[in-house]
Amino acid sequence: MQVRVTTDHNIAGSEKLKGQVEAVVADALARFGKRITRVEVFLADENSRAKSGQKDKRCTMEARLAGLQPVAVTEQGESLDQAVRGAAIKLEKTLGRTLGRLDDRKGRRPVGGEPAV
């Protein structure tokens, strides 16, 4: 799975930040294996550096799935870490539901779960 991290002009897109984001995404989405071809992560500071406020950091994640439309989620937090972790959790749940429904219709075992009864 390829992870691409993009930041707005208010956030320094350092290699350290990119590495941290990639690790969070890989950990959260590992159970989906090769079904995810790429994850795009967009980080933004909505109030810029000059101002601070509650939940002014935004993380949007878009997962590209083999043979399916992309799935996107957005999370806001007081810090980039909160926003990234929240978005990763949302994306994991959304992909679990989406792929689980597809697998169930095709008679396959749900992703990361027991066979349907």
pLDDT of residue 58: 95
CB 23 within 8 A of CB 61: no
pLDDT of residue 3: 95
| CA 60 – CA 114 distance, rounded (Å) | 30
CB 22 within 8 A of CB 47: no
pLDDT tens per residue, range 18-47: 999 999 999 999 999 888 999 999 999 987
What's the rounded mean pLDDT across residues 47-68? 82
pLDDT of residue 49: 60
pLDDT tens per residue, range 63-110: 999 888 999 999 999 999 999 999 999 999 999 998 888 776 666 555
Q: How far apart are the first and last CA of the chain?
A: 31
Top-tier CATH class for 2-105:
alpha beta
Which tokens belong to 36? 């995810």
pLDDT of residue 112: 54
pLDDT of residue 100: 83
| CA 25 – CA 41 distance, rounded (Å) | 9
